[in-house]
Structure 1
Amino acid sequence: MHPRYELTQAGDRYFDGLVDKFSRSLYQAPRGELRLAMLDYLLPQMLNLQQQTVLDIGGGLGQQAAWFAKRGHRVTMTEPSGEMLDHAKNWHRVANELPDNAIDYLQAPLQTVGQFAPGPWPLIACHAVLEWLGEPRLAMQSLADLLAPGGQLSLMVFNRDALRLSNAIKGNLQKALSDQLEGQGRGQRLTPISPIAHDQVVQWSEENGLVVESVAGIRVFQDYLRQPAVAPHERDTLLALEKRYCRQDPHWRLGRYLLYTLSKPETRE
């Protein structure tokens, strides 16, 4: 019998007790490998990277923090789960050739990061975090407050529209029709409690004075394949397909994740 997990008082889901599941099912599996490959491909295109300091919010197992650190950025990685943060520290130390003191660590949820690392930050990464919060709209305000004028926010969210299509393909027609797509967040299944639509990101950005500079879909095709791409040449072809169409309309709109670059305009005297 699987353990039962409880949401925080704020209605958020943390991932203590799920380090092995995350590592095994998300990052040692084809879908996780493709997600990281697409981020490696897209982030240099979508961000103005100048080895500026980076705030990595909800950094999980530490892959994104390591990616920035290897490229010369000084990174502060935050994560509310102590177990996830410990795993990231150990993995950074053992498996990565990183500059000394390249990454600082802070155990804190997004809502309290500003108390300990207020910035303002020229570059913030917040990947696959908002969909695990009870109030993702409020979180956008926190992110905007942390971002420096002229700064960039790399935001990745779990796409509600893709989740609806996936349920329909699986035959869950009533679930798709009723639009009751949210996970409960109390078991080991990793259906987000607050899947997010593109229009919501646009609205919340406008509410907080942020500008949507660019958007891309991640895993546009992979999750809908009738047969998974297993052979190396099939996986190479899939990756090429994902790269070709990840920023083209209408394909990006059905990526399992949506990746945004948001900017905060410079203040004028």
Structure 2
Amino acid sequence: MSLQQDRIFSGLAPKFARNIYASSKGELRLQIVKQRMQAELPLNTNKPLKILDLGAGLGHIAAWLDALGHEVTLVEPAEDMLAKARQQHPWQAASFYCTDIQGFVPYAQAQCWQYDLIVCHAVLEWLAEPQVTLQQALPLMAAQGYLSLMFFNRNALLFSNIVKGNYQKAWQEKLAGSGRRQRLTPTHPQEPQEVLAWLAAWELDILGVTGVRVFHDYLRHKQPTPEELAQVYALEEKYCQQEPFWRLGRYVHVSARHP
């Protein structure tokens, strides 16, 4: 058993809202992820899907899925995050659980709940045991169900540190954050090929792999004009699934299916 703990963002809802979602990087992340989910997952269906959002945060993806007419269950261990998610979005058919993945999974199994789609975005990199925890959640996926997984890319973190001149950190490969205070550097950034190997070992079919924010974070102009951002967004869309560019996305999104 790991002596480390999962990172839970209690008290950080305002910082997440300000630093992530009220920014061009947050807007781009949502735009790319929504596009890939719609292209690779059966979201435009007449029958509502049962969807589980693990680590739902401020609820942006869950609210979008709810607005599409699906039945969404949000699981989020930070009470203030979940409260803000409930308050800031209109909801139609959503349920909310303030607990972590390890607490929710056995509860859901006891109820014999199954989901057509499991969403797990920007969660793995904050877990003490990412592979183990994700695998524990997979029995909640229905037969021929889907997984939408997004994680912080360790390769992009290394690249970013070198670009910023953090050479010692790069040489020593001390890339992970400490999880202390209010810093948002992930404690367990993931190697994409390792995560893809997990999914293959679990016999999931990969439907698409996408780099999210391949170019955006390296713009020389830190406050680009709307016209410049539109150009960057278009280029991100063009190259996000092309070799070698997707491999340097700040996040990697994977769509997969249970056979």
TM-score, normalised relative to structure 2: 0.93
Counterpart secondary structure, 1:117: helix
Equivalent in 3, 8, 16 of residue 22 of structure 1 = 16
Q: Structure 2 counterpart of 1:153, which letter?
A: L
Match of 1:264? 258
Equivalent in 68, 74, 77 of residue 77 of structure 1 = 74
Equivalent in 86, 89, 111 of residue 86 of structure 2 = 89
Q: Structure 2 counterpart of 1:157, which letter?
A: F
Query: How far apart are the structure 2 equivalents of 1:211 and 1:108?
Result: 29
Match of 1:56? 53
Query: How far apart are the structure 2 equivalents of 1:246 and 1:229?
Result: 22
Equivalent in 131, 134, 139 of residue 140 of structure 1 = 134
- Post-superposition Cα deviations, 1:150-174, rounded to whole Å, max 9, x if no partner, equal 1100000000000000000000112
Offset of residue 46 of structure 1: 1.8
Match of 1:164? 158
Offset of residue 48 of structure 1: 1.8
Unaligned runs of 5+ in 1: 1-7
Offset of residue 229 of structure 1: 5.1
Counterpart contact for 1:229–1:235, Cα < 8 Å: no
Query: How far apart are the structure 1 equivalents of 2:135 and 2:215?
Result: 32
Match of 2:180? 186
Match of 2:108? 117
Q: Structure 2 counterpart of 1:187, which letter?
A: R
Query: How far apart are the structure 1 equivalents of 2:137 and 2:211?
Result: 21
Counterpart secondary structure, 2:88: helix
- Post-superposition Cα deviations, 1:41-76, rounded to whole Å, max 9, x if no partner, equal 221012122331100110000101101011110100
Query: How far apart are the structure 1 equivalents of 2:107 and 2:61?
Result: 21
Query: How far apart are the structure 1 equivalents of 2:191 and 2:40?
Result: 20
Query: How far apart are the structure 2 equivalents of 1:140 and 1:262?
Result: 13
Query: How far apart are the structure 2 equivalents of 1:137 and 1:179?
Result: 21
The percent identity for this pair of structures is 43
Offset of residue 140 of structure 1: 2.3
Offset of residue 230 of structure 1: 2.1
Count of aligned pairs between the two proteins:
252
TM-score, normalised relative to structure 1: 0.90
Determine whether 1:214 maps to 2:208.
yes
Match of 2:94? 103
Offset of residue 20 of structure 1: 0.6
Query: How far apart are the structure 2 equivalents of 1:253 and 1:115?
Result: 34
Counterpart contact for 1:140–1:208, Cα < 8 Å: no
State the Cα RMSD in Å: 1.5
Counterpart contact for 1:144–1:210, Cα < 8 Å: no
